[in-house]
Amino acid sequence: MTTVLLLTATGLGVAALYFLVASGLTLIFGLMDVLNFAHGAFVGLGGYVGWTVADRLPGSPGLVLGLLAGVAAGAATAAVTELAVIRPLYGRPLDQVLATVGLGLAIPALLQAVWGADARTWTLPGWLAGTVGLFGARIPSVRFLLIGLAMALLLGLRLLLGRTRAGLVVRAGVEDREMVTALGIDVRRANLAVFALGGAAAGLGGALFGLYQGSVSPGDGTSLLVYAFVVVVLGGAGSITGTALAAVAVGLVQQYADYASASLGDESVVILLAAVLLLRRRNLRGRPA
């Protein structure tokens, strides 16, 4: 029983990370048809910037400021990417993807150049470093922080998409971008907003991944990105709720299978993906929220 609880908590914690990365990915892909290979770079950057701040400023203030710095770094990098790389290539969708591939190779290399190839240890403040007892299971406190923040993001995104005009534009744009522009709406602003928002979530994800592992390393972004892609495929591009559900499914399946036999976790994720694809003969595009 305690094992099940621990596995579930870990699975949900990992799912939270996947959701943080995949939510931006799915909105960007849904709205702009850009499979953003630079997203892992936003994750990595968020992690390192967050770590740098938290390393200088120990304790809880450092943690909070570190997370905020990660968010800011992710958002800023993503916004610059949209403005400087994606927007000039508007109308060349393949080149947009290729350019993000280039960034996805260059930025992690840059991170390695600046912070070195070895992992940097992220020391947690005392209250977060311990575990919480839950029905006899000792669950690391960080997991709850991850789950809480991911749920807050889910709620916030749902409100944003469902209740605001900007959200309406994004939802409509995911369905039919051309028609949105034909109604006199400048989708480029929505594009920038979605990129920045996705980058912010990815930056937060990177910093939280650092907390979860207790360290940050140059390959963090890339390793999360692959699972985030799987989550996007399972959840349906452009769908926030679908992405959240898929993230939970992937996180739990991975942890349970890993417990059964080491390295089975990742294989079972791929089997899950293949099974869903075989059973679901429809296009990748889903609906937002």
Partner 1 sequence: MSAVEPVNTAANLLELEDVRVRLGGSAILHGVSFTVAAAGVTALLGRNGVGKTTTAKSVLGLYPATGSIRLDGRELIGLPTHAVARLGIGYVPEDRGVFAGLTVAENLRLAEPREQPKAGYPRVYELFPVLEARAAQPAGTLSGGEQQMLAIGRILLRRNRLLVVDEPTKGLSPKVAAEVARALKEVAETVPVLLIEQNLSVVRTLAGQAVVLDTGRVAHRGATRDLLADPARTNALLGVSTARADPVRADTARADARGGTA
Partner 2 sequence: MNTLTSTWRRGPLASRWVRAGLVFAVLYALPYSTLRIPGVFDGPLDAPGVLQLLAVCLVFAGLAMSYDLLFGHTGVMSFGHGMFVTGGMYATTILVDHAGFGLWTSAAIGLAVALAAAVVLGAVALRVEGIGFAMVTLAFGQAVAILVVSGSPQLTGGEQGETLDAGAVPAVLSGVRNTANLYWIALAYLAVCALVVWGLAASMPGRVMRALRENERRVEVLGLNPYLFKLLAFVVAGVLAAGGGVVYLLLLGGATPTVSDSNFTLSLLVMAVLGGTGRRWGAMIGGVLYGYAGQSLTRVSGSSAVAGLPGVLRGPLEQPLFLLGAAFVLVVFFAPGGLTGRFGGRMRREEA
Cα–Cα distance measured from residue 231 to residue 250, given in angstroms and rounded to the nearest whole number: 7
Cα–Cα distance measured from residue 179 to residue 83, given in angstroms and rounded to the nearest whole number: 23
Q: Does 104 bind partner 2 (CB under 8 A)?
A: yes
Cβ at position 30, least distance to partner 1 in Å: 11
Q: Which does 133 bind (CB under 5 to 8 A by kind): partner 2, partner 1, none?
A: none
57: which DSSP letter?
S
Q: Which does 91 bind (CB under 5 to 8 A by kind): partner 1, partner 2, none?
A: partner 1
Query: Positive or negative, the Cα torsion across 217, 26, 208, 144?
Result: negative
CA 25: distance to chain centroid? 7
**Cβ neighbours of residue 104 closer than 8 Å, sequence gap 6 or more:** 37, 38, 39, 40, 41, 222, 225
Q: Give the strand pairing for 131-134 and 215-216.
A: unpaired
Q: Could you tell me which stretch among 59-67, 133-141, 166-174, 260-268 binds partner 2 (CB under 8 A)?
A: 260-268
Cβ at position 176, least distance to partner 1 in Å: 6
Q: Which is nearer to partner 1, 121 or 181 (CB)?
A: 181
**The binder of partner 1 chosen from 145, 180, 207, 230 (CB under 8 A):** 180
Q: Could you tell me which stretch among 25-33, 98-106, 172-180, 195-203 binds partner 1 (CB under 8 A)?
A: 172-180
Cα–Cα distance measured from residue 107 to residue 202, given in angstroms and rounded to the nearest whole number: 14
Task: Please state the three-class secondary structure of 180-246 as a single string.
Answer: HHHCCCCHHHHHHHHHHHHHHHHHHHHHHHHHHHCEECCCHHHHHHHHHHHHHHHHCECCHHHHHHH
Binding to partner 2 (CB under 8 A) within 84-103 occurs at 85, 88-89, 92, 94-95, 97-99, 101-103
Query: Positive or negative, the Cα torsion across 191, 195, 197, 201?
Result: positive
Cβ at position 177, least distance to partner 1 in Å: 10
Cβ at position 283, least distance to partner 2 in Å: 7
Q: Does 175 bind partner 2 (CB under 8 A)?
A: no
Binding to partner 1 (CB under 8 A) within 62-101 occurs at 91
* CA-derived radius of gyration, the chain: 19
CA 163: distance to chain centroid? 23
Q: Does 178 bind partner 1 (CB under 8 A)?
A: yes
Instruction: Give the count of residues interacting with partner 2 (CB under 8 A).
Output: 46
The residue ranges that bind partner 1 (CB under 8 A) are 91, 165, 168-169, 171-172, 175-176, 178-187, 287-288
The residue ranges that bind partner 2 (CB under 8 A) are 29, 33, 35, 37, 85, 88-89, 92, 94-95, 97-99, 101-110, 112-114, 222, 226, 229-230, 232-233, 237, 262-263, 266-267, 269-270, 273-274, 277-278, 281, 283-284
